Amino acid sequence: MNFKKARENMINEQIIKRGIKDERVLNAIADIPRENFVLKQNEKDAYLDCPLPIGMGQTISQPYMVALMTQCLSLGGSEYILEIGTGSGYQTAILSKLTTRVYTVERFKVLSDRAREKFNDLDLKNIETIVGDGSQGLEKYSPYDAIMVTAGAEQIPKKLIEQLKENGKIIIPVGSSYFQELLLGKKIENKLKVKNYGGCVFVPLVGRYGWVE
Ligand code: SAM
């Protein structure tokens, strides 16, 4: 299978045609081999327009959703980012191409370890992987310029808002455990100004400030 060609098609047909314009985001997606981040048996499906299973009942997100969430953060290159839900590490790898440092938290060690191997394979050096409950954020390196949550929450966890810088942005799916709205919040004078980017479906954010397991 010609993965490079499949990647170009994915970018043109699934991402640009749906309105993603940020050249830096498109270049980062072109740079990262999605086939590295799916299970071996799903390699041929890596560029399909859908999420795929990655083990532990979790998924690698749909390519368009990765592009949309990334574009929403309007990254300039100098940000310190907190990502909650490493999963396969695909989204993390895209973020790492677009900014200075990415801290990524995953609740399953097996997924975090696997993702870290992928980052090493691709020589992505500006990522720190952490195993833990990301619904509580990551106090240690806060405040962050941007926070991306790749699992669905009932509401925006207050700890994450606290750990965001003034003018910082958070992108997060919020709703029920089976359907959410993608919300982009900008922190202005300690309050979030929120814009809704429409419906989406993510696995639940499970933790102290998320869903009960
Ligand atoms: N962006 C990922 C990718 O590209 O593969 C997809 C992530 S998947 C949709 C959501 C991930 O969030 C899962 O791996 C899940 O285990 C993780 N997760 C759920 N609740 C979490 C929590 N409280 N802290 C950290 N990770 C969590």
Residue 205 CA: which ligand 1 atom is closest? 20
From the CB of 61, is ligand 1 less than 6 Å away?
A: yes
pLDDT in tens, 132-164: 999 999 999 999 999 999 999 999 999 999 999
pLDDT in tens, 62-111: 999 999 999 999 999 999 999 999 999 999 999 999 999 999 999 999 99
* Residues contacting 117, CB < 8 A, separation 6+: none
Task: Tell how far the Cα of 38 is from the centroid of ligand 1, in angstroms.
Answer: 14
Distance CA 83, CA 145 (A): 11
Q: How much is the mean pLDDT over the chain?
A: 97
Q: Which tokens hold the place of 162?
A: 């606290």
Give the DSSP H/E element, type plus range, for residue 93: helix 90-98
DSSP state string for 16-44: ITTT---HHHHHHHHHS-GGGGS-GGGGG
Fill in the amino acid letter for 193. K
Would you state the pLDDT for residue 213? Answer: 85
From the CB of 15, is ligand 1 less than 6 Å away?
A: no
Catalytic residues, by residue number, are: 61
Task: Tell how far the Cα of 106 is from the centroid of ligand 1, in angstroms.
Answer: 6
